């Protein structure tokens, strides 16, 4: 095609200078930031403790404050509410527990009896380590006429007891217990807790005396929350992970969880999963033999979560633990 044959540019069309385009892009980014300020603040707080999180959360907090003042966050809030997720951007770091006497906690209790006419109400909750075992438990107990699940598995990934700013279990669980009124709660926490605390003096570093004391306080507080209304708890310990550095942290958390459970006989049953996922040499195992001696993959590629066979091992342990806390049968007639 000859140059003279090219169509002439429309004289009515105006192009935007590069400088104006950059300004328009900047205005769009700032507008988007103000609309999503609350979400950005929560995301910043969910990062690992350190200078990066401190700077990001400080900047996001300022942006969220301005956004709230001029109400540019209202469209997002209304949209979330319409989806039934109005609490998504709520950030609460409150960790408080009602006082419980040591005598009331340590006093042994009798096993309650459940039957088809007096069903055990079962609730499963926790971090992502409950994701795979939970449905297996629900499937296996479906033939037990004496057990009634109160809900599907209530899982919240990447959460724990150290970072309530990400998800506040201390406020969430009492509401769930009041709503569902479970007789037994199966719970697992700790996979995401190998971090320093924020706002707790001396507990900024994992494993310090202050850290251990605060983690013990939170574990014991949650156990008491779950058993406050005569409920019982099957508390799942952490399985051995592939990473040695992580393994050391999980062992310390397991010890706290186990010793706190032991202080609540008949109320809390601790399930030690750490050794169940070791090989014959006492090391982490991706594969373990099943009942027929055939090796089955029990852990996922991340060295933390469970494959189907591993979830089955945990489910078996959960059902065994339930049997240690309660009885099943038909009430005697007078």
Segments forming the whole domain that contains residue 242: 102-328
Per-residue pLDDT, 53? 46
Given a contact cutoff of 8 angstroms between Cβ atoms, the answer to whether 149 and 183 are in contact is: no
Residue 2: which residues within 8 A CB-CB, separation 6 or more?
Answer: none
- 270: three-class secondary structure by DSSP: strand
My answer on whether 47 and 159 are in the same domain is no
What's the pLDDT score for residue 328?
97
Is pLDDT of 45 > 90? no
In a domain, 150, yes or no: yes
- Tell me whether residue 177 is in a domain: yes
Residues 161 and 254 in one domain: yes
Provide φ and ψ at 107, rounded to 5°. Answer: -70, 125
For the stretch 291-314, pLDDT in tens is: 999 999 999 999 999 999 999 999
Please, which residues have CB within 8 angstroms of residue 309's CB and are 6 or more apart in sequence?
288, 290, 296, 297, 298
Residue 240 lies in a domain: yes
pTM of the complete model: 0.76
Q: Would you list the DSSP string of 133-152?
A: HHHHHHHHGGG-TTEEESSS
Q: Are residues 119 and 211 in the same domain?
A: yes
CATH number where 240 lies: 3.40.50.1110
Q: Most confidently modeled of 10-19, 88-97, 174-183? A: 174-183
138-184: pLDDT as tens digits: 999 999 999 999 999 999 999 999 999 999 999 999 999 999 999 99
- Reported as a pLDDT band with limits 50, 70 and 90, residue 205 is very high
- Interval 51-79 mean pLDDT: 56
Give the residue-averaged pLDDT of 245-262. Answer: 98
Residue 174 · residue 229 · CB < 8 Å:
no
- How many structural domains comprise the chain? 2
Examine the domain organization and report whether 174 and 257 are in the same domain: yes
Do both 136 and 22 map to the same domain?
no
**pLDDT over 60 (residue 63):** no
- The tokens of 310 are what? 């591993």
d(CA 66, CA 47): 22
Q: What residue spans of the chain are helical by DSSP H?
A: 18-35, 37-45, 51-70, 74-82, 102-106, 133-140, 169-180, 209-227, 244-262, 308-325
Considering 54, 82, 110, which residue would you say is the last residue of a domain?
A: 82
Asked whether residue 134 falls in the same domain as residue 238, the answer is yes
Could you tell me how many residues make up the chain?
334
């Amino acid at each position: 095609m000859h140059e003279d044959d090219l169509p002439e540019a429309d004289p009515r069309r105006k192009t935007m200078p590069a400088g104006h385009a950059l300004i328009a892009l900047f205005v769009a980014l700032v507008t988007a930031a103000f609309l999503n300020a609350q979400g950005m603040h929560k995301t910043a707080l969910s990062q690992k403790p350190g200078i990066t999180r401190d700077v990001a959360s400080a900047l996001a907090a300022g942006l969220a404050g301005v956004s709230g003042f001029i109400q540019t966050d209202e469209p997002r809030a209304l949209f979330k509410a319409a989806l039934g997720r109005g609490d998504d951007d709520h950030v609460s770091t409150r960790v408080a527990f009602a006082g419980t006497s040591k005598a009331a906690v340590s006093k042994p209790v009798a096993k309650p009896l459940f039957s088809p006419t007096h069903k055990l109400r079962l609730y499963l909750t926790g971090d992502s380590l409950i994701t795979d075992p939970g449905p297996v438990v629900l499937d296996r107990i479906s033939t037990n006429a004496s057990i009634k699940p109160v809900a599907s598995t209530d899982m919240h990934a990447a959460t724990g007891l150290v970072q309530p700013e990400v998800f506040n279990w201390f406020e969430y669980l009492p509401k769930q217990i009041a709503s569902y009124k479970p007789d037994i709660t199966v719970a697992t926490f700790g996979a995401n807790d190998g971090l320093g605390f924020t706002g707790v003096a001396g507990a900024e570093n994992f494993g310090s005396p202050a850290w251990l004391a605060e983690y013990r306080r939170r574990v014991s507080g949650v156990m008491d929350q779950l058993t406050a209304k005569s409920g019982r708890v099957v508390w799942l310990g952490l399985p051995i992970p592939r990473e040695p550095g992580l393994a050391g942290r999980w062992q310390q958390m397991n010890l706290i969880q186990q010793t706190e459970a032991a202080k609540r006989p008949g109320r809390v049953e601790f399930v030690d999963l750490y050794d169940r996922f070791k090989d014959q040499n006492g090391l982490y195992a991706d594969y373990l033999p099943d009942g027929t001696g055939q090796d089955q993959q029990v852990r996922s590629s991340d060295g933390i979560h469970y494959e189907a066979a591993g979830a089955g091992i945990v489910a078996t342990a959960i059902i065994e633990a339930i049997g240690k806390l309660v009885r099943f049968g038909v009430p005697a007639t007078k």
